[in-house]
């Protein structure tokens, strides 16, 4: 089985999607597993960054891949697989946030994707996550897509259904807003 999985690692996303749609059950499952392996960490990090709740993010993460699988098998049109996955998870996250009652305390929020080795790094991560929570959700989402998911502005624009110029504006101004929030903390920390 590992030889088969290695074989699929060389396939393009579009080839994997075709196998998911038209391949045998074994091929379809192997192609889906390869896509899951390629993008699972990024989708999970995105969900955790947007929601802040590990358990809720895990549920949305799993639901994202379930819906992706169903959509591909039913009527998926060609396009960016990661863009489609982010779009699904974004919609699920927005629905979850809209339906949520209270928010979680900032102390429980984790900075996804960075191994903190020192107290200062942990404090900085906590400050950045706090600042992200304090800015407008549209800025936050654009920054998460750009900084945590390494997406291009064009991809961000497609996912958020805005122009590429607007995506650049949201990322730039979002970073400026984070700097404004963090400035008092940074002055105190680095005197």
Report the C-alpha gap between 170 and 176 in whole angstroms: 10
| Phi, then psi, of 78 in degrees rounded to 5 | -65, 155
Asked if pLDDT for residue 64 goes beyond 90, the answer is yes
C-alpha of 152 from chain center: 13
Question: pLDDT tens-digit profile of 112-147?
Answer: 444 545 777 777 777 777 778 788 888 888 888 888
CA neighbours within 13 Å on the CB side: how many for 135?
Answer: 26
Is 2:9 a contact under the CB 8 Å cutoff?
no
Is 16:8 a contact under the CB 8 Å cutoff?
yes
Of 174, 183, 74, 83, the C-alpha closest to 134 is 174
Tell me what the mean pLDDT of segment 44-61 comes to: 87
Question: Rounded to the nearest 10 degrees, how much is the dihedral formed by the CA atoms of 170, 174, 176, 180?
Answer: 150
- pTM of this prediction exceeds 0.85: no
Report the C-alpha gap between 150 and 118 in whole angstroms: 25
């Amino acid at each position: 089985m590992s030889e088969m999985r290695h074989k699929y690692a060389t396939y393009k996303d579009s080839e994997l999607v075709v196998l998911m749609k038209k391949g045998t059950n074994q091929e379809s499952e192997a192609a889906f597993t390869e896509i899951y392996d390629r993008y699972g960490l990024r989708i999970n990090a995105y969900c955790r960054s947007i929601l802040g709740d590990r358990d809720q993010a895990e549920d949305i993460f799993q639901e994202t891949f379930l819906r992706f699988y169903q959509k591909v098998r039913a009527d998926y049109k060609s396009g960016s697989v990661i863009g489609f996955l982010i779009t699904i998870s974004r919609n699920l996250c927005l629905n979850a946030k809209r339906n949520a009652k209270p928010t979680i305390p900032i102390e429980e929020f984790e900075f996804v994707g960075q191994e903190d080795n020192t107290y200062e790094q942990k404090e900085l991560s906590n400050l950045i996550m706090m600042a992200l929570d304090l800015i407008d959700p549209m800025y936050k989402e654009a920054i998460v897509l750009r900084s945590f998911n390494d997406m291009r502005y064009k991809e961000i624009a497609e996912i958020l259904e805005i122009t590429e110029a607007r995506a650049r504006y949201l990322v730039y101004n979002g970073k400026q807003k984070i700097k404004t929030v963090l400035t008092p903390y940074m002055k105190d920390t680095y005197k």
